[in-house]
Amino acid sequence: MLEYSFSGVLITTWYHQKQLQDDFERSQSQKLIKDIKRLNATAKRTSMWADQVEATKIGKKSEKYEKSIDTRCYAGEKSKRMQQRRKNLEHRQQHAIDDKSKLLKNIESNEELKLIPISYHKDKLVTLNDISINYRDKTVCERVDISISRGDRISLQGRNGCGKSSIIKLIMGEAIEYKGDMQRGSNLLISYISQSTSLLNGDLSSYAKQYDIDESLFKSILRKLDFSRIQFDKNMEFYSDGQKKKVLIARSLCEKAHLYIWDEPLNYIDILSRIQIEELLLTYQPTLLFVEHDKMFCEKIATRNIYL
């Protein structure tokens, strides 16, 4: 694993590149706005020009066009040609405006990473008292006490097989055999990142619809996590492990939740994306229960550690 302490130059370079990218996108946005205004003004002038010619045919007679039938026929034919030219030109202008507007939308949607935590109506979200979990007649963990309050960012720690994922599944409401007392708040909204990415398949658009999240925001977050646009057209089963994990993270960031539960979210995630996720969590301070083996991440993010 690449430790942050050995990556000062890399981090500095990343911030510099990010600033340059942001400056470029702002300049592109301003240019596109000017182009759209110019195209709209040109389209308006085209329309007025054609309307003036049309007026000579339908009775708004000027001295120039009321002299003879031949003149009026000429005006009619000229108006007909002008209207066709107008339609063709307006079509090209509108196509150009639409293209510019799409580019502008893409640039403006490329925002900083955001999170949408919801404040729960009670201080306590989840309470586990003296919990023991059994799996196939084997005790996975026992006498576990956990209390999750608003604003907590709890790092659930322990050796492999000590029951961390089982505790998470219990809180998520899965059918886990256990003893003890668990209290979970009513109407509690949880956004969950699974340790496994094996169930990801199909395309990103279908995945966004499945979870009822905004597709544009979802893909914008993926772009911020250094996800190349070419991947948007591929099915997720062909993604790398890191790309799949970013899909889970981006989906969770799009979800409004009282509690975020992330089970090893940083597996296969590059260091620059980790930095962005750290900044995000420290900025928005969601209520979070997470399992993560990156010690430096835990030290920066956790408000409390619970050992199993």
Domain parsing of the chain, residue ranges: 4-108, 117-307
Task: Report in angstroms the alpha-carbon separations of 77 from 65, 72, 125.
Answer: 13, 9, 77
Asked whether 191 and 261 are in contact (CB, 8 A), the reply is yes
> Across-strand partners of 13?
none
Domain formed by 117-307, architecture: 3-Layer(aba) Sandwich (3.40)
Per-residue pLDDT reduced to its tens digit, 147-161: 999 999 999 998 888
Phi/psi zone of residue 179: left (φ > 0), alpha (ψ -120 to 50 degrees), beta? beta
Q: Beta partners for 172?
A: none
Question: Taking the C-alpha atoms of 277, 281, 286 and 291 in order, what is their torsion angle to the nearest 10 degrees?
Answer: 60
Distance CA 34, CA 99 (A): 14
Q: Which tokens belong to 101?
A: 């507007």
Q: Which two tokens stand for residue 188?
A: 């509690």
Least confident of 47-61, 84-98, 182-196: 47-61
Q: How far apart are CA 308 and CA 302, in angstroms?
A: 16
Res 178 pLDDT > 80: yes
The vertex-20 CA angle with 14 and 25, nearest 5°, equals 125
For residue 201, what pLDDT is reported?
A: 92
Enter the tokens of residue 263.
Answer: 């089970």
- Contact between 242 and 269 under an 8 Å Cβ cutoff? The reply is yes
pLDDT band at 3 (very low <50, low <70, confident <90, very high): very low
pTM score, whole prediction? 0.67
- pLDDT tens string 63-120: 554 555 555 566 566 666 666 666 666 666 666 656 555 555 444 444 567 888 999 9
